[in-house]
Amino acid sequence: MLHAEIRIAGAVLMLGDVSEGPFTAPTALGGTSTALHVFVPDVDALVHAAVPQGAELLQPPADQFHGDRTAILRDPFGHLWIFLTHLKDIPSTDLRPGPADA
């Protein structure tokens, strides 16, 4: 089984290959009901690198009302990933989606 490890503030997140053992890929189940949100330094660069490696771009990078630039990708196993780059802090009183975001 192949896996990757990501360390965040002392915690280890392991990402594993779902092709072995008791694990089932979302593609085998017809989809997934979860998505992993990950903040990255440059969402545009990540998309530029991920798509040629087999990620499916579901939503291209775009600035959002909440102050982040986001993109949504599906990996070859069917997992959904929402990648974000923080652009600016928005006062909580202003955190209301516009008509296009509702």
- β-bridge pairing 3-8 and 56-63: unpaired
- Whether the CB-CB separation of 84 and 68 falls below 8 Å is answered with yes
Task: With CA atoms as reference, report the closest residue to 56 among 71, 36, 37.
Answer: 71
Q: What is the pLDDT of residues 19-72, one digit of tens each?
A: 666 777 788 788 887 888 999 999 999 999 999 999 999 999 999 999 999 999
Total domain count, the chain:
1
- Whether the CB-CB separation of 37 and 82 falls below 8 Å is answered with yes
pLDDT tier at 4, thresholds 50, 70, 90: confident
Output the pLDDT for position 10.
83
Structural domain including 38 reads 31-96
- Is there a domain that residue 101 lies in? no
β strands within the chain, DSSP E? 3-8, 11-16, 35-39, 56-63, 68-74, 80-86
The CATH number for 44's domain is 3.30.720.110
